[in-house]
Each structure stands twice: as structure tokens, then as C-alpha cells.
Amino acid sequence: MPHRTPITPAGRRKPDATHAPGAPAFPHLDPLTQILDDIHLRCMVPGAHEMTAPWGVRFGAGNAQDFRRQLETLGLPLPAHDPPAMQGALVAVLDGNCCLTVEKHRIKLALTTGDVVLITRKDPFILRDTWTSPVREVHELIRREDIEQQRGLRWGHGGARTTFLGGAFHFADEERHPLLASLPPVIHVRSTDLNTTPWLESTLKFLTSELTTHLPGAQSIVNHLVHVLFVQAVRAYAATRPGPAPRSGFQAIFDSELAPVLGHMHSRPEAPWTVASLAAQACISRSAFSARFTATIGSPPLHYLTECRMRKARSLLRNSSLGIKAIAIKVGYSNESAFSNAFKRATGTSPGQYRRAQAKP
């Protein structure tokens, strides 16, 4: 999606550097980038899977215990820790055709070579060659040779072949971003869309190579490439998004008055923002801004700002060795006590207790 410069309505004065004490103006912030930079995806058990008709596989309905039982049945070593819970999935058809069903949302899609589907929820889904083919649970199809050779599933009955990339993902920070929660449950990026073809083809080729060659560092590269596909799918959706809907946070990213505000809140959550200084960035009155922000995002401006601060605080507590006082300053609190009280109200636990609970075994 090309860069979008926020539009200042005719006759309204552009905000200047006085929008918040000590916070410089950033007139060209891209709020979509600011939000997506907050997201750290990790792909779980990705693979290039090969099926022959008739075939059908249900993904996401099992759990860690099912997976461990199947490994025990095959006489394979068990992992030291259960994988994180699936928070979404990505499917890319490399060759052939298949049908996708997300029963919870009554979604049915016919997919063809080059199509990418982003499933943005924890919902189980089915892939199969035709709408009527019988379905097996994915953990039932794990074979010893596939694990030993570090390859995807191989299954079917010898008919037409379909190859697809597939993998569940979770957010490494263990959180969903509130604006991403307003995305549709399924995003379908079609290979026939000329705007997506150049990046889609090259990214899929790179991802396939990493999944099949098993070179050192492959998992790290796969995680980065899955993140790229995730961002590209969200961007493709944004380029063809439907009209605005009430309480649709994702739509606010493309609102000429709210988008600059979101960019500032995500890039500088520690700044001493007030409703008035945020309204100045939107170039509308304080009351109009507050009402519009709340109606679109679903929470008042300062409540949303607190969520941004707490999300950054949790990340710093998990991933840095900074002291509580230093973290308090980095997320906009003048002293440790004020930060600790706000953190406990938001999470139900103190910063120190949270850090200890999140410590890796």
C-alpha cells in the first residue's frame, strides 16, 4: 500500500511541535507501521505439505496432549515443553487447488496456486481437495519419516496433487493487538490480484526454500518471512478494505483525523499526552475528538493510551533487564509508585510479580 500522508481538512491549522510537552512533532508517521512493529510473530511447526486426492485435514482442533500422544505412538521423543497455543494460522497454496472451511464463521473459500490465507483467530479450519472429501485430524497424519526428515505432511490417496505451506502462529509477546482484533477472521489474498503478485511469488519461493533445505538458522528466517506474509496480507486487506463500520479500530488507521493520533500514541506512549493535545493532532475540538475516538476505537483516548503504555511495559518487563523505575519513565510515569499502581490496575499483579512469573524456566 503506498504511503498515505494524513489529510488536514481545509481551513484547519496543522498541529505544531507544542502538541505535547517534550514530544517533537512527527507529521509523516505511518500508524499501520507503528502498530505492526509492535507485533512479533512466531510460526509453530511450519511445513510444506503435499496431499493427493481425495484428502481432507482439520487444523487447530487438537491440543498439545493429542500431539504428544501421537509422538509416543510413533516412538518419537517428546518435546521438553508444550508449544504455545495457536493464535492464528497462515496457508499458502504452492501448487494445485483446494477448499478451505472455517466452520465457526461459515466461511468457505476455493483456493488456487499462489493464494494466501491469513486466519486471524484461534478458530479450527479444514483444508481438502473437494467440499465433500472426508477429513482427518492433523495430528493423526504425523508420520515418523516426516519428523525424521524434517518435512511437512505427506498424505492422500494418489489422485491430483496439492502442495501448500501451512503453519500456526502465535504472538511472541503473548498478546493480540487491539486493532488487529478488529480484522476479519479470514483474509484471502488472491494470486490473481496484480498488486500482490510480485511480492507474493518471491516471498513464497524464499519461504519454501527455507522449509525444504533445513539450513542452519532456518527457523529464524521462517519466522521473519511469516511475519512478512502476515504484514503483506494485512496491507492487502487494507488496500481493499470495506467501508468504515462502527467501532472498527482497524478503520481508524485510515481515518485522516484519527490516524496521526494513533501514530503518535504508538510511537511515543511515554509523552505526557492529554485529550486536548491529542485533539490538536486531529485538528478537531476536544469534545468532538473524544467522541469520535471512543466511537471508532471502542475506548476513550486516555484509556487507549494506558493500554499502549501497559503493552510496552509488559514487553520491557519480559525482554529487558531494566529496573522498574527505568521502565516507569520509559512508559510515561514520573515515579515508580504511580507506574506500579497503574500496572496493577491493568493486569492484577505488580510489575515485579509479573516479571518473575514470565521468567523463562
Residues 287 and 347 in one domain: yes
| CA 95 vs CA 89, 160, 163: distances in Å | 19, 11, 5
Q: Computed from CA positions of residues 222, 206, 232, 112, in that sequence, does the dihedral angle turn out positive or negative? A: negative
| Domain final position from 199, 218, 239 | 239
Q: The C-alpha cell of 38 is what?
A: 509492535
In a domain, 256, yes or no: yes
Per-residue pLDDT at 173: 59
Q: Is the pLDDT assigned to residue 261 strictly greater than 50?
A: yes
Residues 103 and 221 in one domain: yes
Taking residues 15-37, report their average pLDDT. Answer: 53
| Domain final position from 185, 217, 239 | 239
- Among 29-33, 217-221, 325-329, which is the least confidently predicted range? 29-33
In a domain, 62, yes or no: yes
Residues 328 and 196 in one domain: no
Per-residue pLDDT at 297: 86
In a domain, 328, yes or no: yes
In a domain, 89, yes or no: yes
Give me the number of domains the chain comprises.
2
Per-residue pLDDT at 242: 55
Taking residues 149-156, report their average pLDDT. Answer: 84
Taking residues 2-9, report their average pLDDT. Answer: 38
Residues 221 and 299 in one domain: no
Taking residues 233-259, report their average pLDDT. Answer: 70
The overall average pLDDT reported for the chain is 80
Q: Which domain holds residue 262?
A: 248-358
- The 3-state DSSP class for residue 224 equals helix
In a domain, 12, yes or no: no
Taking residues 242-248, report their average pLDDT. Answer: 51
What H or E segment, with its residue span, contains residue 250? helix 249-252
Residues 48 and 76 in one domain: yes
Query: With bands split at pLDDT 50, 70 and 90, how would you rate the model's confidence at 166?
Result: confident
CATH number at residue 349: 1.10.10.60
* DSSP per-residue string spanning 122-136: S--EEEESSTTS--E
Most confident of 65-69, 173-177, 287-291: 287-291
Query: Which string of b and e fits 99-120 if b means at least 16 CB within 10 Å?
Result: bbbbeeeebebebeebbbbbbb
Per-residue pLDDT at 83: 61
Per-residue pLDDT at 63: 67
Residues 162 and 264 in one domain: no
Q: Computed from CA positions of residues 149, 152, 153, 156, in that sequence, does the dihedral angle turn out positive or negative? A: negative
Residues 233 and 273 in one domain: no
Per-residue pLDDT at 315: 86
Q: Is the pLDDT assigned to residue 29 strictly greater than 80?
A: no
Residues 87 and 219 in one domain: yes
Taking residues 139-164, report their average pLDDT. Answer: 86
Residue bearing the bigger pLDDT, 201 or 185: 185
Taking residues 6-19, report their average pLDDT. Answer: 41
Residues 327 and 271 in one domain: yes
Q: What's the predicted TM-score (pTM) here?
A: 0.74
Residue % of the chain over a pLDDT of 70: 76
Taking residues 42-51, report their average pLDDT. Answer: 79
In a domain, 26, yes or no: no
Per-residue pLDDT at 248: 56
Residue showing cell 493510551: 305
The pLDDT tens digits for 322-350 are 999 999 999 999 999 999 999 999 999 99
Per-residue pLDDT at 65: 72
* DSSP per-residue string spanning 322-341: --HHHHHHHTT-SSHHHHHH
Query: 253, 260, 350, 274: which is closest to 310 by C-alpha?
Result: 350
Q: Is the pLDDT assigned to residue 274 strictly greater than 90?
A: yes
Residues 168 and 97 in one domain: yes
Burial of 41 (0-12, 13-18, 19+ CB in 10 A): buried
The pLDDT tens digits for 65-102 are 776 776 677 676 666 666 666 678 889 999 999 999 99
Residue bearing the bigger pLDDT, 38 or 226: 226
In a domain, 60, yes or no: yes
Per-residue pLDDT at 17: 39
CATH number at residue 106: 2.60.120.10
Per-residue pLDDT at 174: 54
| Domain final position from 219, 239, 259 | 239
Taking residues 176-198, report their average pLDDT. Answer: 75
Residues 79 and 127 in one domain: yes
Per-residue pLDDT at 302: 95
Residues 222 and 276 in one domain: no
Rounded Cα–Cα distance for residues 327 and 195 (Å): 42
Per-residue pLDDT at 196: 62
In a domain, 115, yes or no: yes
